[in-house]
Structure formats: C-alpha cells, structure tokens
C-alpha cells in the first residue's frame, strides 16, 4: 500500500513493499485454524510480576537474560492479533509484500539507497522508511532526543543504555545520584531499570505512581 518501490536486480522486477523480517510460516496456518496457544496465555499471567522478578536478579543473571533470551522473550510473549495476521497473509498472497532476510549493508549512491543481502542480491530504493522505533539502548540511537538525554546532567543511563529512575516514583536519577525532582520517565526509555516497559498495565501502574508523587508534593506544599 506504499508508493515506494524497490528494485531487485536479480529478479528484474519492482517490489511494492519490502520488509526485512524473519518469515513466519504460521501466517498460513494459525489464523485459519484459530489454534489457541495455552502456553502463551500462561506467559500473559506473569505480566504483573515480571518486573518484580527482574529487580530480584543479580547483574550476572540480568546480563544473561538480555544477551541470550530477551529477543525470544519479546517475540513469543505476545501473540500477533489474528486480524493483523490475516491482513499480512493476504498481502503475501497478492504479492504486495515480500520478506528479505539478513541485510548485511546499506549504502547511498546516485540518489538511491542500496541494501546488500546475504545471498548476494541487491535491493534499490529511492525512499526508505525506518519503522524500527527508538532503540532500548539510547547509546545506539541516532535520535536527537536520545543524544540530548545522554548529554544532560538530569539523567543517568544504566549499563544497558536505559534511564535510571526510582521504581517507586519513576523520577529520573541525575548524575549526582539524586532525584531530578518533578522529572518523570516511563516506558521504553527506562529499559534495564525494568525489563518489561511496553505493557498497557505497566504504563498505567507507572502513571499512577507518578500521579501519587505529584499529589503528595502538592499536598505538602499546601500544608
């Protein structure tokens, strides 16, 4: 559905949409069979204790979790909505969506972006959309906001590139090791302080703690 077109030199054809994702064979089976994954439902039930478990781990265990298991945990913890899976399957079947694995390099030449793939083929495009979102590791981000945060004395980054905050109030911890009063951070930017940062119930819980802290400060000023 995008206007951008990619050109595959080996196949000599234009590709309307190309995503660099790992193919999912289940797209052609799971949406049709409506098969339930009870093991996944069990994972859902751990949502409210995941960060509590994370806080109890030592640094060595946290490093092992992030290095070896985080990718798989994030992939399999939440299921793709059936409606989205059916839509993706239809795009594949209509040859409006293609998957290419393992891009090994990108370059820009003569007004075109070029992606080199591990099989030796090359994809060319006039426009590329980076839809990967902000990295958990702010050190690896090219975003201006991330760079400003790193250079600011109001914040401290943990060893995984996320922001250090109080897990009681979610106030930022500055370079002096004290709280930046009135400066709150929730969501993906605090990765490492918490391990699961994108759940709706998690965001609600954090927002509640922020509201309670602000209310307590206001009441303290009034009294």
Q: Which of 40-49, 114-123, 146-155 has the lowest mean pLDDT?
A: 40-49
Average pLDDT over residues 24-47: 61
Domain ranges of the chain: 6-125, 138-222
Give the confidence band of 65 by pLDDT, cuts at 50, 70, 90. very high
pLDDT of residue 111: 86
Q: How far is CA 159 from CA 41, 137, 179, 192, in A?
A: 32, 9, 18, 8
Q: Is 170 left (phi over 0), alpha (psi -120 to 50) or beta?
A: left
Does 31 or 214 have the greater pLDDT score? 214
Do the strands 18-19 and 98-99 form a parallel or antiparallel pair, or are they unpaired? parallel
pLDDT digits (tens, 9 = 90+) for 83-123: 777 888 888 888 888 777 667 788 888 888 888 887 788 88
Mean pLDDT of all residues in the chain?
78
End-to-end CA distance of the chain: 59
């Amino acid at each position: 559905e995008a206007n951008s077109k990619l050109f595959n030199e080996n196949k000599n054809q234009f590709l309307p949409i190309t995503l660099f994702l790992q193919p999912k064979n289940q797209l052609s089976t799971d949406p049709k069979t409506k098969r339930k994954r009870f093991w996944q439902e069990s994972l859902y039930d751990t949502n409210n204790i995941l960060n509590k478990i994370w806080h109890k781990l030592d640094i060595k265990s946290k490093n092992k979790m992030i290095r070896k298991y985080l990718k798989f945990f994030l992939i399999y913890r939440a299921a793709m909505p059936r409606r989205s899976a059916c839509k993706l399957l239809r795009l594949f079947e209509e040859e409006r969506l293609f998957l290419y694995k393992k891009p090994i390099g990108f370059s820009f030449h003569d007004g075109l972006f070029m992606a080199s793939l591990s099989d030796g083929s090359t994809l060319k495009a006039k426009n590329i959309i980076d839809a990967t979102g902000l990295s958990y590791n702010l050190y690896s981000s090219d975003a201006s906001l991330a760079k400003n945060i790193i250079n600011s004395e109001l914040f401290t980054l943990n060893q995984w590139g996320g922001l250090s905050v109080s897990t009681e109030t979610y106030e930022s911890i500055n370079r002096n090791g004290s709280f930046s009063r009135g400066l709150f951070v929730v969501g993906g930017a605090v990765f490492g302080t918490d391990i699961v940062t994108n759940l709706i119930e998690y965001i609600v819980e954090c927002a509640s703690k922020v509201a309670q802290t602000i209310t307590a400060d206001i009441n303290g000023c009034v009294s």
